[in-house]
């Protein structure tokens, strides 16, 4: 039961009769008591005549998924199974981050009928956004007292990573196709696979003439090449505590999601197999054996629920995890943060095990604020800041050098640049046949 | 959650059935999280019953203990405590005397009849002289217990105080019948004195102790002829002492003869009003009720605005850590400890690495090579370059600022010189002999 502003106003209006007709205390007290009686009888009557909010049944219709930044409509069907007409307000109690805005809607539902309450959701956080309950406040005919009940109507909507980096995809696919020899420009790498033999035409590289085949046939034959296919790419995401840090107001983890989505999209176009693993001390997300359109949807689905864990990454378990995915040679892309030497000890200690068997790329976000700070030398405080920034950059350079010495490759870039940089590195490796 | 189009199309059919048959109760399909009033009462019944029990016990305890407590006023007719006079009043009532308990002179005035006795006990001296005189004239018999100075002045001006009686036995020894029937009084009480010389015809003293001091003095009112009995020791009428000696006989004899007895214990209502009218007199009668109403309205408004529209929704919030926090922290540490050399060294190491790339010497070039090459490119002396990049030690913040600017300026100058393709001779002389001038100042790894 709740009151309305109208009831408060009615109660306060009792001042008028008390002042007008109550010059002496006894009469005034009598009028006060009479007024209170009147007001509460009216309120009680109102309450008794209000439709029961408990007689409302709720059905929900929700899209299962939405990309972060996009809007969807949540539909709530309210059916009044009671005998009275329900006039009131409905609150659909979404979590704040579901972006429901003002989630109170006025409804009028005659007995036995059904009404739709639709709400536009614009979630502003990744993950699973939930709603558990719907609260119905039913107004009495006089609008003095309300009946209120909370109904269980659970719902959930999965908010997927936005994948802004997909704008880089077409250009990279074009470059892949150039590698593939499907366009007129033949870009040939060293370690590409033998594809087929065909007759020599003018302009072909004489080095690719296959002399044995030429000896068997009467024409000069050349070998054609295509990039390797069906290689394995393992994307390993560090979801430990360092992934929670924000660079350019975006957590490192989200940048890593963008980069791995772009890489996965590219590799699936290139015909390679992608496996995805998010790991800190245990597996937070894993996508294996998917390809084509299913790959990306499975990836975003599993990424949606991953949040940075405030624990230290267990690097010692990483080689085992990779081995459990593939025992063949693969491109292992480790998305983590390359920081001070002390913090990267774990990564450096297990890298030899990985590089012995696989090609490894370590990708990390570089804070553009640090680069800016290193260059700005105003007063005393700014110089100290520049010194600290320079120190941090030197640390990154030292760790990067150590990683390279262990046989792995390093990609560092600002959050906006990391996904395309990683994709370019992949294309370069593919062209070089190092997959 | 049945969120399919199929179920929504066949829903109306189900609804008409529900509208006809469902009478209150929980609607099918949707469960209600808010408990009903009955469920709420049922759940909290233990606490409600416990609270009721505690309240009942407290009430009973208060009633039981309240009867035996000396809480009422002394000589009050409805006070059963030792100081009260309920015993006397009850005995008189049993004997057919109408006993009225009065709290103000107006009540006495209203209750007094042709044949009445008034018992006055003014413990706090509320009455003034005129009121006392009026009281003395009201009834045929007036008994004043423990008269104070004002009462004596008003009713029997010649009678004075006689101190505490020192006699062990007090005998009546006078012509008052009630005193004679009592015979003896409990000793040790206050007395009144009648001046020796004045043989006042209307004064009678009983229970003498010593010369001219008495424990009962009767005065005849010369205007109305009423009898005023002054009993200096009020304890005689109390529940505690009424049964001692002849106290009861004296009390019944003094108070019993009339048809009605008015026990008058003055209260604040008897005080005369003086001074300007108080604030309460000036405010209109509706002020208090209006205040009460407004307080109630404020409470209702608090309920109106404070009532939650359903339960709160919980949400786990993400951690927000800026990645540059460590850098900022280190900068503050440098600044607080004035680590000028350390800060400048960091700047210099970064600059040297960039310079090495800028002049086309690899990452692994020696410092002296870099200094020489930079000196050739910029046209400065190697010593000057060495001073900026290695040698100078900043002694103050000003020097630190100057040196850091010098490092930046050197980098800038080198970059420009390389871009302009200057000093080919210098490049030729450089031992590392890079292939071509690389792009300027690329920060990251190639």
Q: Virtual CA dihedral for A401, A406, A407, A409, nearest 10 degrees?
A: -40
Q: Identify the pLDDT of residue A122.
A: 94
Alpha-carbon distance B336 to nearest alpha carbon in chain A (angstroms): 10
Contact B293 A18 (CB under 8 A): yes
DSSP code per residue over B341-367: HHHHHHHHHHHHHHHHHHTT--TT--H
Give the orientation angle of helix B287-306 with respect to helix A25-49, to 10 degrees. Answer: 20
Please check whether residue A264 is in contact with residue A276, taking contact to mean a CB–CB distance below 8 angstroms: yes
Q: In chain A, which residues have their Cβ closer than 8 Å to the Cβ of B445? A: 397, 400-401, 404, 410, 412
Average pLDDT over residues B289-295: 92
Which class for A35: exposed (0-12), middle (13-18), buried (19 or more C-beta within 10 A)?
Answer: buried
What is A53-160's CATH number? 2.60.40.10
Alpha-carbon distance A355 to nearest alpha carbon in chain B (angstroms): 20
Contact B289 A133 (CB under 8 A): no
pLDDT, tens digit, 9 for 90 and up, residues A276-329? 999 999 999 999 988 888 999 999 999 999 999 889 999 999 999 999 999 889
- Cβ neighbours of residue A371 under 8 Å, at least 6 residues apart? A389, A393, B443
Q: Which residue has the tokens 């070998």?
A: A223
Q: Which residue has the tokens 């600022």?
A: B401
Please tell me if residue A42 touches chain B, with a CB cutoff of 8 Å: no
- CA-to-CA separations, A128 to A59, A414, B319, in angstroms, rounded: 20, 28, 17
Contact B397 A380 (CB under 8 A): yes
Phi, psi values for residue A267, rounded to 5°: -65, -35
Q: Identify the pLDDT of residue A293.
A: 84
ipTM: 0.74
Share of chain B above pLDDT 70, in %: 85
Please tell me if residue B280 touches chain A, with a CB cutoff of 8 Å: no
Q: Identify the pLDDT of residue A181.
A: 55
CA gap A405, A352 in Å, rounded: 10
Q: What is the largest CA-CA distance in chain B?
A: 155
Contact B32 A54 (CB under 8 A): yes
Is 50 exceeded by the pLDDT of residue A186? no
Q: What share of chain A is helix, strand, coil (3-state, %, to 5)?
A: 40, 30, 30
Q: Which residue has the tokens 């008015």?
A: B262
Per-residue pLDDT band for A1 (boundaries 50, 70, 90) equals: confident
Least confident among A120-124, B165-169, B347-351: B165-169
Alpha-carbon distance B363 to nearest alpha carbon in chain A (angstroms): 11
Chain A, residues 279-308, CB within 8 A of chain B, namely: 307-308
CA gap B129, B244 in Å, rounded: 33
Q: Calculate the average pLDDT of chain B.
A: 80
**Nearest neighbour of A18 by CB, restricted to B25, B286, B350:** B286
pLDDT, tens digit, 9 for 90 and up, residues B57-97? 999 998 887 655 445 788 888 888 888 888 888 998 998 88
Please tell me if residue A60 touches chain B, with a CB cutoff of 8 Å: yes
Per-residue pLDDT band for B184 (boundaries 50, 70, 90) equals: confident
Please tell me if residue B282 touches chain A, with a CB cutoff of 8 Å: no
Is 80 exceeded by the pLDDT of residue B200? no
Please check whether residue A103 is in contact with residue A92, taking contact to mean a CB–CB distance below 8 angstroms: yes
Mutate to test the interface with B, among A384, A401, A409, A425 (most CBs of B within 10 A): A384
- CA-to-CA separations, B176 to A100, B182, B261, in angstroms, rounded: 100, 10, 20
Q: Identify the pLDDT of residue B424.
A: 47
Q: In chain B, which residues have their Cβ closer than 8 Å to the Cβ of A29? A: 288-289
Helix or strand or coil: residue B14? helix
Pick the more confident residue, A176 or B281: A176
Please tell me if residue A36 touches chain B, with a CB cutoff of 8 Å: yes
Which has the closest alpha carbon to B195: B187, B186, B205, B185?
A: B205
- Could you tell me the two tokens for A214? 């030429």
Sheet with strand A409-413: strands edge to edge? A283-287, A273-279, A232-238, A330-335, A359-365, A409-413
Q: In chain A, which residues have their Cβ closer than 8 Å to the Cβ of B350? A: 374, 390, 393-394
- Could you tell me the two tokens for A403? 């990683």
Which class for A366: exposed (0-12), middle (13-18), buried (19 or more C-beta within 10 A)?
Answer: buried
Q: Could you count the other beta carbons within 10 Å of the beta carbon of residue A128?
A: 14
Which has the closest alpha carbon to B231: B152, B134, B173?
A: B152
- Could you tell me the two tokens for B277? 């009218």
Q: How far apart are the first and last CA of chain B?
A: 56
Contact A246 B1 (CB under 8 A): no
Which class for A355: exposed (0-12), middle (13-18), buried (19 or more C-beta within 10 A)?
Answer: middle
pLDDT, tens digit, 9 for 90 and up, residues B227-261? 889 988 888 888 888 888 888 898 888 888 888 89
- Could you tell me the two tokens for A263? 């890489």
pLDDT, tens digit, 9 for 90 and up, residues A3-39? 999 999 999 999 999 988 877 888 888 899 999 999 9
Is 60 exceeded by the pLDDT of residue B433? no
Contact A397 B284 (CB under 8 A): no
Which class for A216: exposed (0-12), middle (13-18), buried (19 or more C-beta within 10 A)?
Answer: exposed
Q: Identify the pLDDT of residue B11.
A: 33
Is 60 exceeded by the pLDDT of residue B422? no
Is 70 exceeded by the pLDDT of residue A334? yes
pLDDT, tens digit, 9 for 90 and up, residues B367-419? 888 888 888 888 888 888 888 888 888 888 899 999 999 999 999 998 888 88
Instruction: Confirm whether pTM is higher than 0.90.
Output: no
Contact A400 B445 (CB under 8 A): yes
CA B324 to chain centre: 50
CA gap B163, B149 in Å, rounded: 13
Q: In chain A, which residues have their Cβ closer than 8 Å to the Cβ of B334? A: 384, 387-388
Contact B323 A379 (CB under 8 A): no
Alpha-carbon distance B350 to nearest alpha carbon in chain A (angstroms): 6
C-alpha count within 13 angstroms, C-beta hemisphere, residue A2: 21
Mutate to test the interface with B, among A383, A385, A395, A396 (most CBs of B within 10 A): A383
Chain A, residues 328-367, CB within 8 A of chain B, namely: 337, 340, 365-367
Please tell me if residue B331 touches chain A, with a CB cutoff of 8 Å: yes
Q: Could you count the other beta carbons within 10 Å of the beta carbon of residue B125?
A: 11
Pick the more confident residue, A262 or A290: A262
Q: Calculate the average pLDDT of chain A.
A: 89
Contact B404 A386 (CB under 8 A): yes
Radius of gyration of chain B measured on its C-alpha atoms: 55
Please check whether residue B260 is in contact with residue B117, taking contact to mean a CB–CB distance below 8 angstroms: yes
Homologous superfamily (CATH) for A232-431:
von Willebrand factor, type A domain (3.40.50.410)
Is 60 exceeded by the pLDDT of residue B20? no
Where does A247-379 have alpha helices with state H? 252-270, 293-304, 318-325, 345-357, 368-375
Average pLDDT over residues A237-257: 91
CA gap B90, B76 in Å, rounded: 12
Per-residue pLDDT band for B425 (boundaries 50, 70, 90) equals: very low
Share of chain A above pLDDT 90, in %: 63
Q: In chain B, which residues have their Cβ closer than 8 Å to the Cβ of A139? A: none
Contact B313 A152 (CB under 8 A): no
């Amino acid at each position: 039961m709740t009151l309305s502003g109208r009831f408060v106003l009615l109660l306060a209006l009792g001042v008028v009769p008390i002042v007008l007709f109550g010059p002496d205390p006894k009469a005034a007290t009598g009028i006060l008591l009479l007024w209170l009686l009147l007001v509460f009888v009216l309120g009680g009557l109102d309450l008794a005549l209000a439709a029961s909010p408990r007689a409302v049944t709720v059905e929900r219709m929700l899209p299962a998924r939405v990309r972060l930044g996009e809007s969807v409509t949540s539909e709530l069907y309210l059916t009044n199974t009671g005998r009275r007409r329900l006039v009131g307000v409905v609150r659909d109690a979404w979590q704040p981050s579901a972006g429901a805005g003002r989630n109170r809607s006025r409804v009028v539902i005659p007995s036995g009928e059904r009404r739709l309450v639709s709400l536009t959701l614009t979630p502003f956080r990744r993950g699973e956004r939930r709603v558990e309950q719907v609260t119905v406040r039913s107004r009495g005919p006089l609008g003095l007292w309300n009946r209120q009940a909370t109904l269980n109507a659970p719902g959930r909507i999965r908010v997927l990573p936005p994948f802004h980096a997909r704008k880089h995809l077409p250009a990279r696919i074009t470059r892949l196709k150039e590698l593939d020899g499907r366009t007129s420009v033949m870009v040939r790498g060293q370690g590409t696979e033998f594809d087929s033999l065909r007759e020599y035409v003018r302009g072909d590289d004489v080095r690719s003439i296959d002399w044995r085949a030429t000896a068997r046939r009467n024409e000069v034959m050349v070998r054609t090449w295509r990039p390797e296919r069906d290689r394995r790419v393992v994307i390993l995401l560090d979801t430990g505590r360092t992934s929670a840090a924000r660079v350019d107001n975006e957590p490192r983890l989200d940048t890593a999601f963008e980069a791995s989505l772009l890489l996965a999209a590219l590799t699936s176009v290139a015909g390679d197999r992608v496996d995805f693993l998010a790991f800190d001390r245990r597996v937070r997300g894993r996508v294996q054996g998917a390809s084509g359109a299913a790959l990306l949807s499975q990836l975003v689905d599993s990424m949606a629920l991953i949040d940075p864990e405030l624990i230290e990454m267990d690097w010692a378990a990483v080689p085992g995890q990779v081995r459990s995915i593939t025992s063949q040679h693969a491109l292992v892309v480790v998305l983590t943060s390359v920081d001070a030497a002390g913090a990267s000890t774990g990564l450096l200690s297990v890298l030899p095990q990985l590089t012995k068997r696989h090609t490894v790329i370590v990708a990390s976000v570089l804070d553009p604020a640090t680069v800016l700070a290193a260059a700005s030398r105003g007063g005393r405080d700014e110089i100290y800041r520049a010194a600290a920034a320079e120190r941090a950059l030197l640390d990154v350079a030292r760790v990067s050098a150590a990683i390279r010495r262990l046989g792995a490759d390093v990609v560092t870039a600002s959050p906006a640049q990391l996904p395309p940089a990683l994709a370019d590195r992949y294309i370069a490796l593919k062209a070089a046949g190092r997959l | 959650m049945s969120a399919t189009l199929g179920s929504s199309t066949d829903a109306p059919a189900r609804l008409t059935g529900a509208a006809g048959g469902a009478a209150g109760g929980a609607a099918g399909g949707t469960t209600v999280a808010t408990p009903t009033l009955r469920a709420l009462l049922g759940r909290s019944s233990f606490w409600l019953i416990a609270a009721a029990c505690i309240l009942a016990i407290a009430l009973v305890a208060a009633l039981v203990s309240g009867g035996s407590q000396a809480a009422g006023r002394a000589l009050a007719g409805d006070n059963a405590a030792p100081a009260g006079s309920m015993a006397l009043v009850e005995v008189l009532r049993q004997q057919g005397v109408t006993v009225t308990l009065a709290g103000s002179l107006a009540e006495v005035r209203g209750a007094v009849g042709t044949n009445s006795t008034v018992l006055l006990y003014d413990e706090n001296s509320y009455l003034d002289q005129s009121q006392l005189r009026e009281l003395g004239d009201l009834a045929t018999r007036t008994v004043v217990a423990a008269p104070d100075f004002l009462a004596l002045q008003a009713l029997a001006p010649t009678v004075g105080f006689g101190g505490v009686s020192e006699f062990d036995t007090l005998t009546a020894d006078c012509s008052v019948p009630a005193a004679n029937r009592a015979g003896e009084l409990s000793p040790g009480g206050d007395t009144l004195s009648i001046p020796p010389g004045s043989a006042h015809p209307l004064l009678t003293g009983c229970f003498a102790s010593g010369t001219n001091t008495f424990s009962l003095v009767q005065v005849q009112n010369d205007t109305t002829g009423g009898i005023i009995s002054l009993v200096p020791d009020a304890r005689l009428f109390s529940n505690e002492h009424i049964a001692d000696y002849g106290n009861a006989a004296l009390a019944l004899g003094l108070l019993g003869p009339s048809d009605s007895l008015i026990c008058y214990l003055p209260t604040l209502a008897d005080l005369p009003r003086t001074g300007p009218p108080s604030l309460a007199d000036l405010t209109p009668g509706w002020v208090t009720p209006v205040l009460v109403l407004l307080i109630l309205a404020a409470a209702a408004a608090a309920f109106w605005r404070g009532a939650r529209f359903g339960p709160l929704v919980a949400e786990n919030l993400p951690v927000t850590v800026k990645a540059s926090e460590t850098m900022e922290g280190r900068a503050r540490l440098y600044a607080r400890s004035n680590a000028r050399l350390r800060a400048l060294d960091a700047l210099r190491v970064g600059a040297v690495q960039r310079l090495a790339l800028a002049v086309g010497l690899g990452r692994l070039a020696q410092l002296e090579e870099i200094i020489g090459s930079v000196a050739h490119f910029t046209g400065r002396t190697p010593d000057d370059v060495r001073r900026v990049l290695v040698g100078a030690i900043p002694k103050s913040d000003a020097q630190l600022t100057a040196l850091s600017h010098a490092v930046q300026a050197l980098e800038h100058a080198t970059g420009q010189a390389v871009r302009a393709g200057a000093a080919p001779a210098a490049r030729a002389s450089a031992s590392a002999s890079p292939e071509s001038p690389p792009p300027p100042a690329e920060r990251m790894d190639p």
